[in-house]
Amino acid sequence: MRCFFRVGDLVTRDLTEVHDLTDEIINYVAESRIKNGHVLIQPMHTTVGIWLNEGEPRLVRDFKKGVDERVPFEGNYFHDDIDKRLDCPPDEPINCHAHLKSAFLSNPSLSLVVFGGKLQLGRYQRILFGEFDGPCPRKHKTRRKWIISIIGA
Amino acid sequence: MRCFFRVGDLVTRDLTEVHDLTDEIINYVAESRIKNGHVLIQPMHTTVGIWLNEGEPRLVRDFKKGVDERVPFEGNYFHDDIDKRLDCPPDEPINCHAHLKSAFLSNPSLSLVVFGGKLQLGRYQRILFGEFDGPCPRKHKTRRKWIISIIGA
Amino acid sequence: MRCFFRVGDLVTRDLTEVHDLTDEIINYVAESRIKNGHVLIQPMHTTVGIWLNEGEPRLVRDFKKGVDERVPFEGNYFHDDIDKRLDCPPDEPINCHAHLKSAFLSNPSLSLVVFGGKLQLGRYQRILFGEFDGPCPRKHKTRRKWIISIIGA
């Protein structure tokens, strides 16, 4: 049995963003030399998500609009009543919307098949990383981390 | 370590459909002779999805109605403004709704446990394949592909 | 290749509940002595779900409120028209809302990376089990089962 592990990262600049990780993942599968097995991609944050879908640029705009429409930025959220929380400073930016987007509209991790040394993807399938809580006014960008593990033979 | 891989397919005839793959998957687990491991089922399209839930016929109607209610067929979608896209002919049927259903309401792949040579499922759990973009008026049916990979010992 | 399998359970008392399984899962990963591999956690019911997100108590209230708001308890559901079903007694409690919550808003199973003998989790990531169909008036509590399988080396 063989195991392969890497850490990936990316930088986001907008509140809601979609990044295509497909080419990076395909390269890691090749580097792993694993012929048959399972790829597991896991974002390391609670206000992001991952999808397997088409990456057509206008569709990506629909994804971003779609998540923002389905979970309002402000929504009388318990988590955003910062004064009532014991775990954060008073200038903590609100981000409950991003946690709900991650939990309700996206996936916590993504498992894909490797067969014959190749990542198995349908013609239009792309691996899309979703940012739902991009930089607050205090910052200009956010660094996001994800990991990939491939096990197989 | 053992690996098992197969390609499955099915034909859909309506815009929104649900197909039960459970019996097929159970047979593949038996054929694989893998005693302990992980099953990974991956649909190969971006306008379909997969669930693990009950297959009671009236509940299946609720699933179909539920996805259609939550994402309207027409919705001022960027992806459906076919003229503005460089990647498709002018008579391309609109299907943004189906991409959003796949991404927001369903799962990109399904991982399940094999233990003691048996696929582990709760009493009511069934593997349900969701079609969200069945044949456009030009066609009468659509062929959909999925793959299964089992790794273990 | 090594395999590790355990059955977990928990008791719920409210209609909608969230339980944090993280510490239990971390202990199982240690017990498994698997250094590199994949953890798969699978709830065994069709009216529950699993998330990977933050466990801050007020955010958990937002998750519970969020699922209840998105899928109404009563909704003219086919599945809840008990008289028309052949598979259940007339006093069967209605629970279509819980099936839809499970399918549309949560995940059927959760796959996570083990590397260097440790479950890989981001700083705020917690494994959250969601109950969407807690005890009906006839009962005071419900026992829920989940399984964990770890494969690797």
A65-117 pLDDT, tens digit each: 999 999 999 999 999 998 888 778 877 889 999 999 999 999 999 999 999 99
pLDDT of residue B88: 80
Q: How far apart are the first and last CA of chain B?
A: 5
- The complex's ipTM? 0.96
Q: Do C40 and B37 touch (CB under 8 A)?
A: no
Distances (CA, A) of A55 to A8, A48, A63, C74: 20, 17, 10, 37
Query: Is the CB of residue B42 less than 8 Å from the CB of residue B84?
Result: no
Element (H, E) at C124: none
pLDDT tens-digit map of A26-71: 999 999 999 999 999 999 999 999 999 999 999 999 999 999 999 9
Residue A137 has a pLDDT of: 66
Q: Tell me whether residues C3 and B152 touch, CB distance under 8 A.
A: yes
Whole-angstrom distance, CA of residue B126 vs CA of residue B107: 14
DSSP string of C17-46, one letter each residue: EEEE-HHHHHHHHHHHT--SEEEEEEE--S
| Residues 6 or more apart whose Cβ sits within 8 Å of residue A91 | A138
Is-contact B144 B43, C-beta < 8 A? yes
Chain B residues in contact with A153 by the CB 8 A cut-off are: 1, 3, 151
Interface contact flag, A149 C121, Cβ < 8 Å: no
Residue C128, Cα to own-chain centre: how many angstroms? 7
Instruction: Give residue B103's pLDDT.
Output: 98
pLDDT digits (tens, 9 = 90+) for A4-29: 999 999 999 999 999 999 999 999 99
For B24-43, write each residue's pLDDT tens digit: 999 999 999 999 999 999 99
The pLDDT score that the predictor gives to residue B137 is: 66
User: Residue C11 is inside which H or E element, if any?
Assistant: strand C2-12
Number of Cβ within a 10 Å radius of residue A31: 11
Q: Which two tokens stand for residue C85?
A: 């079903």
- Is there a contact between A101 and C70 (Cβ–Cβ < 8 Å)? no
Q: What is the mean pLDDT of residues C80-97?
A: 87
> What's the whole-model pTM score?
0.97
CA A27/CA A24 separation, integer angstroms? 5
CB interface of B with A, residues 4-33, below 8 Å: 5
Q: For residue B9, what are the β-bridge partners? A: B145
Q: Which residues on C lie below 8 Å from A100 (Cβ)?
A: 62-63, 66
Size of interface A-C (CB pairs under 8 A): 100
Q: Tell me: pLDDT of C137 over 70.
A: no
Cα separation, C36 vs A3, in Å, equals: 7
CB B151 within 8 A of CB A39: no
Residue spans of chain B under pLDDT 50 = none
